[in-house]
Chain A
Amino acid sequence: NAGVTQTPKFQVLKTGQSMTLQCAQDMNHEYMSWYRQDPGMGLRLIHYSVGAGITDQGEVPNGYNVSRSTTEDFPLRLLSAAPSQTSVYFCASSYKDRVSEQYFGPGTRLTVT
């Protein structure tokens, strides 16, 4: 099992550029989510999905889109990057009835200049 994988590990974008952060899991977890981590603010939920074809907004969804076409993959799209989106992004997955026991990926450090 590879667990939760994320690519890329690091990314630098210019303001206005778009990109997709990739997340995949091989544990057949129904539940997947995206968090951003900023200094002194803990983890904040961006979007989540309870299964293929189903997504919902978290605490800080503005500026991000997600889709869930398969159980394994849950990409996060930045439509028009802004400096405020500079952060570390974590993807996580779990069984849908055990969402607190989430497995986190290694993170993507994104810098928007």
Chain B
Amino acid sequence: GENVEQHPSTLSVQEGDSAVIKCTYSDSASNYFPWYKQELGKGPQLIIDIRSNVGEKKDQRIAVTLNKTAKHFSLHITETQPEDSAVYFCAARLSSGSARQLTFGSGTQLTVLP
């Protein structure tokens, strides 16, 4: 089955700096890569996603890049703010599309220092 590895497990940045979280996946058949943000005491929330036919996608301060050849994808947050502090999860989904094929990374605790 699919295996998703996520690094780093913790990340601290100064407010205004950029943060980058990286994930690698094992199954080349995966074609959909969402990112979730989980704030303390809440459930994960989808923040951005990318499909395998696209190399990069941006949404304001958040961007995701995908390298299909190397089987890795990354989340980039620019001009970080204290409210960006949360746990971020990447995931990969096989082309069949059911949640059974949605595999999550282990999460990254991002702390934005004021």
Contacts and interface: CB of A to CB of B under 8 A. Distances in A.
Interface residues of A, number: 24
Given A90-B43, A104-B45, A58 B100 contact: yes
Nearest to B51: A100
Contacts, number: 61
A48 interface: yes
B36 to A, nearest CB: 8
A45 B99 contact: yes
Interface stretch (A11-19, A36-44, A64-72, A76-84): A36-44
Contacts of A105: 43
Contacts of A56: 100
B18 to A, nearest CB: 24
Contacts of A101: 34, 46, 49
Interface stretch (B57-65, B68-76, B77-85, B102-110): B102-110
Nearest to A104: B43
B105 to A, nearest CB: 5
B42 A40 contact: no
A56 B34 CA distance: 23
A40 to B, nearest CB: 5
A56 B43 CA distance: 22
Nearest to A97: B97
A50 B97 CA distance: 12
B8 to A, nearest CB: 12
A100 B49 contact: yes
A102 B104 contact: no
Nearest to B98: A99
B107 A42 contact: yes
Considering residues A41, A43, A102, A107, which has the most beta carbons from chain B within 10 angstroms of its beta carbon? A43
A74 interface: no
Given A40-B9, A100-B93, A31 B99 contact: yes
20 contacts: A33-B99, A40-B107, A41-B106, A42-B89, A42-B104, A43-B104, A45-B100, A56-B100, A58-B99, A99-B98, A99-B99, A100-B32, A100-B34, A100-B93, A101-B34, A101-B46, A101-B49, A104-B44, A106-B43, A107-B43
